[in-house]
Structure 1
Amino acid sequence: MENVSIILLFLFVLFTLLGTGVWVGLALLGVAFVGMELFTTRPTGDAMLTTVWHASSSWTLTALPLFIWMGEVLYRTRLSEDMFRGLSPWLRSLPGGLIHTNIVGCTIFAAVSGSSAATLTTVGKMSIPELRRRNYPERMIIGTLAGAATLGLMIPPSLTLIVYGVTINESITKLFMAGVLPGLVLAGMFMAYVGISAKLSKSFNPDPEPSMSFGERVANSRFLIPVILLISVVIGSMYLGYATATEAAAFGVIGALVLAATQGSLTWKTFTASLMGATRTSAMIALILAGAAFLSLAMGFTGLPRGLANLIAELELSRFELLMVLLVFYIILGCFLDGISSVVLTMAVVEPMIRQAGIDIIWFGIFIVVVVEMAQITPPIGFNLFVLQGMTGHEMTFIARAAIPMFLIMVVMVFVLIFVPDLATWLPDQMVSRPGSG
């Protein structure tokens, strides 16, 4: 009963602060401050300063602003145009035609961005006009773009996985590797849906594409070489043990700047804009992480995480039942909070539960990312839906309905992960490690 009272108090303070428009990071600090004042005699100010400094000075966290900067630089290049020109000759003959460029393009850009919003904006600004011009169904254009853009949260480098790894003190590199195969499988499921829908739908009648020889297709593929090289450097260096996540991020930034320079997109204006964009995003995430670290400390003094973990143990839920409870919990939470906030806000309570249940912490990172991906396309505040509304001018209800099939595919992906856990754990187990990597 005491635990329930503490939870209700924390939730009341949190939603009061959020409801008044306070930033998420400051709201978390506010809740923690109340908890410290009520449940401990320790000086609250000293505890907050120590905790916030420790959370902000983590070396692992340095990968975050670097990967964000890399994505910001690439967002300002002609990457999306080059990807469309390189992919379209090969995808046009598949069932579903050029709709697949949304999915494959998002998958490729996700591997150099780490952000769902950056992936959506970069691919969408090129593919939406091209697909509309070729008379592809609007609902399928919007739906596939909304769903496939969430791959930016899973395929490395993933900002959500960095935050998750920092929060639970786990290897970022291993988490990145764990996201590769599930990300590719989810992209394959999206493509299978497009192919089946195109075959069954009577309204799927895009304009026919002009014929193109094999030589012309190969010639157009040269536009993919820069981004494939960049992906190989970033992911390959981590997998082979040559670089930590932070070092790979530094290589990625250098590669992105070189790519932008060779394309003629790197001007002083775009350079400063990318740097300021990365600074704003990094500062926002760092504030959320600092607030979450202080909240974790406050919760520790209340005994809430331990009490809830014991309560779950007393219920004697199986692993599957626990995961189903967490699935529903995160879907509901995702309706009101962004993915990173959902992860850092709940880990203090959820981590003891999953460890006590014997659930692999790396595997759970991928599980939680898939569920957070759903939140990106779940009303009322699914972030991808807002981005698409700004890009297309459609009503929110139309975009949400278009994204429903992708949401359901992600639900299926959760069960695939549960029944085939090696999908997330096999690649990290094969990694070449080196001393000090993490």
Structure 2
Amino acid sequence: MDTLWTTLGLVGLIFIVLGLGTWVFAGLVMVAVLSLLWMGDFDLQRIGITLSRILFRAGNSWELSAIPLFILMGELIFRSDISERLFKGLEPFARRIPGGILHTNIFGCTLFAAVSGSSSATTATVGKITTRELQQRGYDRQLSIGSLAGAGSLGLLIPPSIVMIVYGVQAEVSISKLFMAGVLPGLLIATLYSGYLLVQALLYPHKAPRQPATESTVTFLQSLALLAPVLGLIVVVIGSIYSGLATPSEAAAVGLGATLLFLLFEKQLSWSLFQDAVRSALLSSVMVCSILVCAALLATAVGYLHIPQDLAKVIGAMQLTPAGLLLILALFYIILGLFLDGISITVMSLPITLPLVIQAGIDPIWFGVFLVIMVEIGQITPPVGFNLFVLQGLTGEKLGKVALAAMPFFVLMCVAAVIISLFPGIALWLPGLASQG
């Protein structure tokens, strides 16, 4: 019972501090200090010494260097014409499938996710072209918005993924293997989304008007040429990691260099564009890294209070199956996703949930994929669904209408979570091959 009250007290303190509008990184520090003072019988001097050591150790992680590099890479791509190239390159292929160019939302986000790492960047980059084009060509507005909301979240799952880097640093697991584990689940979700659009187009043809497919072989070759920059960046970033030639941080640097060379070659790189990209990347990187470093303080406080160990004993006494534990955690993460962004969810929950998962015998690499899918769900659930806000800005629609359009894709993401729970090999097959190699 003492463990339950301690845990409830800590969770309650988190919601109170964040509910007051405190910045997340400052809130994490406040919760860590207050919990140690209130429940840990620490004095301020001991807290100061302990937290200063944790801050230095957490901020001195080499893996964190990949985050600002991937963010800057995404900002540069966002300001280029790659999104327009993506649409024009994918259009001839998508037009031949029932659902037509609605599928460009899915295909475009899947490809862009492999060079980004951010859900909101993926949604904004693809959406700034497809939302306008789909509306002008008479495609169903709800399917257009909903498919983009769902597919945009793939930026968190398909590598390189900033949330996976954050998870890997906290959970102390291989980020390269996490990236591998995200590939097949990401493609599974993309397939479910495209399958849903295909069924909708067959049942309700007026939602996706068919256009004549008159493309020649030359047209398809031209389309591949338009897709070449994105495909090339995917090969450079993901190929260097999977081949073992580069760590994720080194691959981020290589990818950034390749992006700069592409923009320079295409005469799109200007000093003002570079300044804008660096400014946006700096703000985002400081936010992410400060939250991550401050989360280490909370993790330390949680450890000193023995919450993970005591909760593990309580749940162990309940004799829950791994499936039962995952169901409880899924509900927990869906509720958190209503109020918090993905990185905050990850860094705040892992000190409590990861020990439970490991004790239950669940592979931490697989759990990383499961967690990211839960975070993706939070991206399209109000009131704090970041993809919903991005789409609201792109389309001018009310938030409620955007959220309603995203609902079928919320359900499909839940279905994907169930599938990888029943068949964990979907996530673990590629990392297993790497281990054997």
Name 2:92's counterpart in structure 1: 89
1:250 to 235, 250, 253: 253
Determine helix, strand or coil for the equivalent of 1:431.
Answer: helix
Partner of 2:106: 103
CA contact 2:100–2:208 (8 Å) conserved in 1: no
1:118 paired with 2:121, answer yes
Aligned counterparts of 1:285 and 1:237: Cα–Cα separation in 2: 25
d(CA) in 2 for partners of 1:6 and 1:210?
63
| Structure 1 position 163 matched with structure 2 position 169 | no
Quote the offset at 1:206 in angstroms: 2.4
Structure 2 equivalent of residue 312 of structure 1: 315
How far residue 301 of structure 1 moved from its aligned partner, in angstroms, is: 1.3
Q: CA 1:210/1:178 → structure 2, altered by over 3 Å: closer, same or farther?
A: closer
Name the % identity: 44
- Give 1:400-415 correspondences, 5 Å limit: 400-415=403-418
User: Is structure 2 residue 48 aligned with structure 1 residue 60?
Assistant: no
| Structure 2 equivalent of residue 397 of structure 1 | 400
Residue of structure 1 equivalent to 2:191: 188
User: Offset at 1:218?
Assistant: 1.7
Whole-Å separation in 1 of the counterparts to 2:163 and 2:312: 24
The one of 136, 141, 146 aligned to 1:143 = 146
Would the aligned equivalents of 2:139 and 2:208 in 1 still touch at CA under 8 Å? yes
Mapping 1:181-260, distance limit 5 Å: 181-206=184-209, 208-209=211-212, 211-260=214-263
Instruction: Give the CA deviation at 1:21.
Output: 1.4
Report the Cα distance in structure 1 between the residues aligned to 2:290 and 2:236, rounded to whole angstroms. 30
Contact map agreement 2:95 2:211 (CA 8 A) in 1: no
Distance 1:261 1:130 in 2: 28
What's the CA shift for 1:205? 4.7
**1:17 counterpart residue number:** 17
CA distance in 2, matches of 1:78, 1:432: 39
Aligned partner of 1:368 in structure 2 is: 371
Q: In structure 1, what is the Cα distance between the partners aligned to 2:80 and 2:109?
A: 15
Residue 8 (structure 1) aligns with? 8
Q: 1:376-430, CA deviations, whole angstroms, 9 ceiling, x for partnerless residues? A: 0011111111111111111111111110110000011011101111111111122
**1:106–1:149 CA contact under 8 A, matched in 2:** yes
Residues 317-336 of structure 1: matches in 2 within 5 Å? 317-336=320-339
Task: Say what the alpha-carbon RMSD is for the aligned residues.
Answer: 1.4
**Separation of aligned partners in 1, 2:292 and 2:140:** 41
The code of the aligned residue for 1:23 comes to: W
Query: Aligned partners of 1:234, 1:433: CA distance in 2, in Å?
Result: 22
Please state how far the C-alpha of 1:91 moved relative to its aligned partner: 1.0
Q: Distance in 2 between matches of 1:398 and 1:130?
A: 20
Check if 1:41 corresponds to 2:42: yes
Q: Does structure 1 conserve the Cα–Cα contact (< 8 Å) formed by 2:100 and 2:210?
A: no
- Aligned counterparts of 1:242 and 1:290: Cα–Cα separation in 2: 28
Secondary structure (helix, strand or coil) at the match of 2:114 reads helix
Q: Distance in 2 between matches of 1:27 and 1:97?
A: 46
Give the corresponding residue for 2:294: 291
Deviation at 1:47, TM superposition (A): 1.2
Which residue type is aligned with residue 218 of structure 1? L
Cα distance between partner residues in 1 of 2:213 and 2:432: 46
2:54 counterpart of 1:51: yes
Q: Tell me the equivalent position of 2:340.
A: 337
Structure 1 residue 4: Cα displacement: 2.3
CA distance in structure 1 between the aligned counterparts of 2:41 and 2:237, rounded to whole angstroms? 45
How many residues in Structure 1 have an aligned counterpart in Structure 2?
Answer: 434
CA distance in 1, matches of 2:433, 2:242: 9
1:426 to 2:434 alignment: no
Greater Cα shift, 169-178 or 208-217:
208-217
TM-aligned CA deviation for residue 122 of structure 1: 0.3
The alignment status of 1:263 with 2:266, answered yes or no, reads yes
Deviations 1:51-109 (A, max 9, x none): 11111110111111111111111111100001111110111010100000000000000
Distance 2:433 2:63 in 1: 22
- 1:349 corresponds in structure 2 to 352
CA contact (8 A) 1:241 1:432 kept: no
Give the Cα–Cα distance (whole angstroms) in 2 for the partners of residues 411 and 212 of structure 1.
37
**1:186-211 deviations in whole A, cap 9, x for unaligned?**
11111111001110115325263462
- Match of 2:7, as an amino acid? I
Which segments of 5 or more consecutive residues in structure 2 lack a partner in the other structure? none
**CA shift for structure 1 position 287:** 1.4
Distance 1:433 1:57, change over 3 A: farther
State the one-letter code of the partner of 1:97: G
Match of 2:178 in 1: 175
Question: Quick one: distance in 2 between partners of 1:257 and 1:401?
Answer: 39
Read off the aligned partner of 2:32 and give its amino acid letter: A
Tell me: CA distance 1:40–1:265, structure 2 relative to 1, closer, same or farther (3 Å). farther
Distance in 1, Cα, partners of 2:167 & 2:351: 11
**Mapped contact 2:98–2:210 kept (Cα < 8 A):** no
Q: What is the TM-score when the length of structure 2 is the normalising length? A: 0.97
**In structure 2, what residue type is equivalent to 1:73?**
L
Distance 1:336 1:221 in 2: 41
Question: Is residue 148–residue 187 contact of structure 1 (8 Å, CA) maintained in 2?
Answer: yes
The question of 1:384 aligning with 2:415 is answered: no
Tell me the alpha carbon deviations over residues 338-383 of structure 1, each in whole angstroms, 9 at most, x when there is no partner: 1110111010011110110000000000001111100000111111
